[in-house]
Structure 1
Amino acid sequence: MHYLSAEGLTKSYGIVPLFKNISFHINEGDKIGLIARNGVGKSTLLKILAGKEPPDAGKLWIHKDVKVALFEQQPEFDENGSILDNVLHEAHPVIQAIRSYEAAVEAEDADQLARAFELMDEVGGWSFDAKVGQIFAKLNITQHHQKVSTLSGGQRKRVALARTLIDIGFEAGHTLLMMDEPTNHLDVEMIEWLEHYLNQEKVTLLLVTHDRYFLDSVCDEIWELDRSDMQVYRGDYQYYMEAKAARIESEQASIEKARNTYRKELEWMRKQPKARTTKSKSRQDNFYKVAEKASQKIEDTQMQLEAKMTRLGGKVVELKKVYKSYGDKKVIQGFDYTFTKGERIGIVGKNGAGKSTLLNIIQQIETADSGKINIGETVVFGNFSQQGLEIKENVRVIEYVKSIAESFPLAGGGALSAAQFLELFLFPGDKQYTFIESLSGGEKKRLQLLTILFRNPNFLILDEPTNDLDLPTLAVLENFLMDYQGCILIVSHDRYFMDRLVDHLFVFEGAGNIRDFPGNYSQYRIWQKQEETRLKQQGETKAVKKQPAENNAQPEQDMQGKKESVAKKVSYKEKREFDQLEAEIAELETEKAGLEEALGNANLAFEQLSVHSKRIAEIIALLEEKELRWLEISELME
């Protein structure tokens, strides 16, 4: 089924067009990734397709049976309403069906009840509560009656995502889902779940994202807005990269050929007498076409920049027995680590686990409850935080950068001016004189990043640096960091970014435990899945060993030898703790299964749904803590 067609769409803000005369089609089942540099119109194009903004020119046709759903970067809510009020709004078709069913039951009208039953079947109303519960649990939305006005930016994004997924999940007709940066503010587990969800659902999708693994997993077609035009690549992200490289190479060859022709034609034009009127008109026209082609410039985001970094001494940063809690919540428990020059460490863990707290303690922005933090005298921190730029009004981009420094020193001698440095980070000359408040959200993030690098630190701390950055800027940043000689500490949910840059990970496992894992994120996930499999198999083995003695007879001396071996490694107290943990884990698993079954009950009240979802989240946290301790003791017993 043909969903949408656009012909000759044009949109400008000011003189320069965001895109000009672009045409495209979307058919049922398409899963398209839309990529471009920040500020060239990705979000604007989505709003035009959703009917929220008009184009300057062009035609847009949408099939009358297609509903367009838009997930925006800045979602709108009823600020005085609760999470449930905003997600389960009265206009939702299933809510209307449930209301009709309740009214029919109360009226005791057989015909009305039959129609209500039929409507509930049609919209999937019987499984509504279970599906809502699953989405809430996966996105860690627990305080269902909390007012939206009290939520943080990340919480608002997750609530908006839940609302969008619930809306499209129960649409009986055809829906075009458009999503603008849906992975921002989600932890890695949530992102992986969303990947799986979108791949399982029969959804037609137009997606804007900077997450390359997400893009590769979900989309099978890439659209790129480039130089006011749109390029279409029918394949995944890897195919797009290969095809784009080939296209750029071909264009560069074509431009070089045009430049050679231009030089010859220019010489011919200059030799013609001004008074002569018999000059070939067609050749003159062709000259101007060649001149236009020869003046084109293919922008390449590859950057090699060797900075003359402030010297980093032998002593960098030492953490000794660091503890930090917020009330009863332990975020760091006895953490020890000594940083060495040139380390590249990634930090992963669930939202709220304490990742940003560790970064603040290292920089002494926040104090630990106990422990020692020793900072080397030569350390110069560069801190990219999630707070964004702090600037005065009516400041131009170039003025802001020059207020930090006039130039950037290079390792081979010489320096880059502020304007040249801005060029490297994709701020061309005209953009450098733009007022900062006029920049897009992604452009402001890019400016924040380059001003931190422009200060030339030797210990970079990057807290979610990839949020709101476009793919060309990410390529520039990655190329810069690949050659960076100082220490790098990165908190990011961008798995591709982490895989490319880090050597090992600090994994926040909950209850203040931080694991130092020797590898990148993909290697960690492989190890984690292997551990889950091993623990499951180990649990099944232990269940078999608990069968009656006559079914598991072993030689007396083998049993005695095993007891003696365990006794040498494990104390009596640990053995009792181990037995108790097994019982507690079994009880929690049983309780969790019961709650999950209850969530599948179509008659469950929303209040109970809230209570059950919150308890499941608590049980998952408890299971992680207890299983980790069980594993520690079991390793001693092997």
Structure 2
Amino acid sequence: MSILSTEQVSHSFNDRWLFQDLHFALQKGDRVALVGINGTGKSTLLKILAELVVPTKGRVVKERGLRIGYLPQEPDFSYLNTINDFIFSLDNEQQQLIKEYEQLVENQDFNSKHFMDITERLTNLNAWEYENNIKTILNRFQIKNFNQQIASLSGGQKKRLALAKLLIDEPDIYVLDEPTNHLDIETIEWLEKLLTTGQKTVLLVSHDRYFLDNICTEIRELDKGQVYSYKGNYAYFLEKKAEREATEIAAADKARNLWRKELDWMRRQPQARGTKAKARIESFYDLEERSKGPRKKDNVELSVKVSRQGNKILELDKVGFAVAGKDIIKDFSYIFKKGDRIGLAGKNGSGKSTFLNLITGILLPTSGKIDVGETTKYGYYKQEGLSFSTDERVLDIVKNVADFIEMKSGEVITASQLLTKFLFPPEKQFGLVSKLSGGEKKRLQLMRVLMANPNFLILDEPSNDLDIDTLNILEEFLEEYPGVLILVSHDRYLIDKLTEQLFVFKGDAEVVIYNGNYADFKLEQEAVEKKVEKKVEKVQPVQEKKKKLSFKEQHEFESLEKEIETLENQVSVLTEKLSSTTNHVELQEIAEEIEKSKTSLDSKTERWMELAEFI
């Protein structure tokens, strides 16, 4: 039984129907990927299902009380000030208690009545595990300063913040638009495990093929206003989609050939027609409709010329970069060779973007030397996206770089012709850039980079927002690309397919060179971790595996240190008092107080030692 569905939903955008009379349903436990080329309406359909956009026609039906969590491509925080305001919902009692608890802990107000009251209420609500889950999620997304202004966050940080909040809220349906954008590979692998644990219902749009294979049990393609379902993984979808399209194209071609013959007959027919002729006329109009079926699809053409490359390309000699005395990269050396295909791996904030800005001259090293060859010509595709004015047309964006472009074959074509090869028809070329979808803007940005004929190509997260068809063409182009390639991507499939070497950013200013792709590196890392685990088990066969302190236990440990110090001082004061009096009754009272304090001290010391083992 469906918990969320559409009833004859139709929606138009810019006077064009995205889809009409669409039926889309989700059952509990479904994990569905929605795929399709840019501009087909995937993001719009997600917003309609999340009840953020009202469809032009039809309606959305959902189970009573159903909670839908929606992650947009570009979250809007214009109505909030700090991270605190966003993470802790006003209508969630547990979250508001945890927020108060955090504020008291930050102010080290452990002994107040209010702190004890909050602690007791959290215990009564069984909220300590929930509080620990919140901490785990926020730490995973590197969110630590709750008082930070949201306006100061980068686009990637905002996306991670929005995803963290959605995971904390644990909705009944997770509706995710490009959830892996701006995440490092380790976090993506963690997210895969989280979304596949329990019977979660997930609907997502993503171009990360490994992510789709690991998460989804069904692929649904939105194509020309229709939804086609494929039970299975992404590889199965590609196979069946190709079969379906081939069958549809063959049927449409056959109908077109027959229609042309019937058209000739129609033109020769007299005005007065018999019954047989009328039946044939009706058949003709039916045939005409079928002849409008799909033709062989146009694909993006990537065949631009690559500039000649000399023997000296790029040499790094003990390069370092530091900010405010903190090393980001330290003593890194490498001599680039013709045909190098290098992937950059490492957590967010480990220095990958800094490295790219250093080799392209945007930043200057604080130590060492960077020597760029005379013939080296960079093409730098940045994940920040395309910069443009609101009144700029698509054609203007290209002409700002060049009016004519030389192709791989030696042919020189106009900017307009190149746009057509990148699937921007004339009506799009003279339209405003602001009217393009996110994926179309990325395709235009890629075109601008390639039209400069670079021989040293740097792609920083190229899979973000590019549709899968364009990604497949890009992969084919890059496999044959003769220049140097540096690739930064969370898309493990892309890294594995296109790179032969990794620069691994460890996060402590160290960059390790690894010969092999990410799959090789991951297998090697897992093998090392297993060896370490076995050694630990041999050294400590009887001991339980060490665990990390929960957030609650960490604060208990810190509180115990202060309480033990207070009790020790109390025992010392009472002992001095004991030796300064001769009153029998008073002596008895002081002795009882000392005994109570020592008992409490022993108990707290023992607990402190238990917790100290896990620090």
The 5-angstrom pairing of residues 380-391 of structure 1 reads 380-391=377-388
Unaligned segments of structure 2, at least 5 residues: 102-111, 560-614
Q: Computing the radius of gyration over CA atoms, which structure comes out larger, 1 or 2?
A: 2
1:432 to 423, 429, 433: 429
Which residue, out of 284, 291, 312, partners 1:287?
284
Aligned to 1:370: 367
Partner of 2:503: 506
Q: d(CA) in 2 for partners of 1:200 and 1:131?
A: 14
- 1:120 alignment counterpart: 125
* Residues 368-389 of structure 1, C-alpha deviations (whole Å, 9 max, x = no match): 1122222111111111113322
Structure 2: how far apart are the matches of 1:148 and 1:335? Answer: 34
Aligned to 1:598: 553
CA RMSD of aligned residues (A): 3.2
**Equivalences, count:** 544
The one-letter code of the counterpart of 1:120 is L
Establish whether residue 339 from structure 1 lines up as the match of residue 339 from structure 2: no
**Residue in 1 aligned with 2:240?**
243
Residue 392 of structure 1: how far off its partner (Å) = 3.1
Asked if residue 214 in structure 1 is aligned to residue 211 in structure 2, the reply is yes
Q: Is the 8 A contact 2:315 2:371 kept in 1?
A: yes
- Given that residues 36 and 471 in structure 1 are in contact (C-alpha distance below 8 angstroms), is that contact kept between their aligned partners in structure 2? yes
Q: Structure 1 pair 297/603, CA: closer, same or farther in 2 (3 Å)?
A: farther
Kindly provide the CA deviation profile for residues 43-79 of structure 1, in whole angstroms up to 9, marking residues without a partner as x.
2112211222111112321111312221222324375
Matches within 5 A, 1:572-587: none
* Unmatched 5+ stretches in structure 1: 108-112, 548-588, 605-622, 624-638
Q: CA 1:433/1:78 → structure 2, altered by over 3 Å: closer, same or farther?
A: closer
Shift of residue 398 of structure 1?
2.4
Instruction: For 1:602 and 1:448, locate their aligned partners in 2 and report how far apart those are by CA, in whole Å.
Output: 53
Structure 2 counterparts to residues 413-562 of structure 1, below 5 A: 413-539=410-536
Structure 1 CA distance for aligned equivalents of residues 130 and 263 of structure 2:
71
Match of 1:10 in 2: 10
Cα pair distance change 1:288/1:476, threshold 3 Å:
farther
Corresponding letter in the other structure for 2:382: S
Aligned counterpart in structure 2 of residue 157 of structure 1, from 150, 159, 167: 159
CA distance in 2, matches of 1:474, 1:602: 52
Distance in 1 between residues matched to 2:296 and 2:323, nearest whole Å: 48
What is the rounded CA distance, in whole Å, between the counterparts of 2:94 and 2:315 in structure 1?
Answer: 56
1:133 alignment counterpart: 135
Q: Is the 8 A contact 2:248 2:293 kept in 1?
A: no
Residue aligning to 1:401: 398
Structure 1 residues 84 and 299 mapped into 2: Cα distance closer, same or farther (>3 Å)?
farther
- Match for 1:392: what amino acid? S
Distance in structure 2 (CA, Å) of the matches to 1:189 and 1:9 = 38
C-alpha distance in structure 1 between counterparts of 2:24 and 2:555, whole Å: 42
Once residues 374 and 97 of structure 1 are traced to their aligned partners in structure 2, the CA distance between those partners, rounded to angstroms, is 56
Compute the TM-score of the two structures, normalised by the length of structure 1: 0.78
Q: Corresponding residue for 2:145?
A: 143
Shift of the alpha carbon at 1:298?
4.1
1:430 is displaced (CA, Å) by: 2.8
Structure 1 residue 277: deviation in Å? 4.2
Counterparts of 1:475 and 1:602 in 2: how far apart (Å)? 54
8 Å Cα contact 1:460-1:488 kept in structure 2: yes
Deviation at 1:205, TM superposition (A): 1.1
User: Which TM-score applies when normalising by structure 2?
Assistant: 0.81
Tell me how far apart the structure 1 counterparts of residues 93 and 61 of structure 2 sit (CA, whole Å): 25
One-letter amino acid of the counterpart of residue 340, structure 1: K
In the alignment, what sits opposite 1:359?
356
Alignment of 1:191-206 (within 5 A): 191-206=188-203
Residues in 1 aligned to 2:400 and 2:284: alpha-carbon distance in whole angstroms: 45
190-199 or 223-232: bigger deviation? 223-232
| 1:32 and 2:32 correspond | yes
Q: Tell me, what secondary structure is at the counterpart of 1:457?
A: coil
- The whole-number CA distance in structure 1 between the counterparts of 2:318 and 2:113 is 64
Matches of 1:72 and 1:414, distance apart in 2: 42
CA gap 1:599/1:128 in 2 versus in 1, 3 angstroms:
farther
Structure 2 CA distance for aligned equivalents of residues 394 and 326 of structure 1: 38
Corresponding residue for residue 564 of structure 1: none
Amino acid at match of 1:155: Q
Deviates more, 1:467-476 or 1:535-544: 535-544
| Percent identity (aligned) | 41
1:30 CA drift (Å): 0.7
Residue among 293, 296, 301 paired with 2:293: 296
Q: In the TM superposition, what is the alpha-carbon distance from 1:490 to its structure 2 partner?
A: 1.1
Distance verdict in 2 for CA 1:594–1:56, change over 3 Å: closer
Aligned position for 2:228: 231
